[in-house]
Copies of this chain bind each other. A is one copy, B any other.
Amino acid sequence: MTTRRPFPLAKVYGLLETGPVILLTTAHKERRNVMTLSWHLMMEFEPPLVGCIVSDRNYSFSLLKAAKSCVINIPTVELAEKVVRCGNTTGARTDKFKRFGLTPLPAQKVAAPLIGECYASLECRVADTRMVAKYGLFVLEVVQAWIDPGVKDPRTLHHRGHGRFMVGGKTIRLRSRMK
């Protein structure tokens, strides 16, 4: 993703409200991880707030709690195999970046790395943890967004369960007053 550019925070909702599978990266001290997840939602336009479920059974949970930050990376279908391998593997004994050939790039505002192979990356700070104990729901504020401007109609992955993924299709336009 050598061509990535800053992306306006006000437009971040359009990247996530389609519901793509994301790769959540975390880092704290000597540890880092990549986690595949689909359970996220937009909660506010600007500053963009994103809710994400990270269970305490996930290795990323302790990294996210400790670092209080992360990066949401959005892969496209070319990465499908790596997305699944990240989801099938725990980071407790494996550096998934090395094992699966994902390129960590330094973020600007958080410790976790961007993933070079993803077309968009959103640097986030943890904004609210009050729903973590009961639901594993972290409220994240996106503080810096990056995009590959060459990707206009990203063929994102959308999990249907048990290894089935719907791949993002064509985009249609309708006359809408909705933001």
Q: Which residues of A contact B (CB under 8 A)?
A: 11, 13-14, 17-20, 36, 38-44, 49, 51, 53, 77, 80-81, 84, 87-88, 131, 135, 137, 139, 153, 155-156, 158-179
Contact = CB atoms under 8 A, between A and B. Distances in A.
Contact of A11 (B41, B87, B161, B177): B161
B44 A176 contact: no
B165 A171 contact: yes
A171 B161 contact: no
A42 B136 CA distance: 11
A41 B40 contact: yes
B169 A168 contact: yes
12 contacts: A39-B41, A49-B135, A84-B175, A84-B176, A84-B178, A87-B176, A158-B158, A161-B179, A163-B173, A163-B175, A165-B171, A168-B169
A131 B77 CA distance: 34
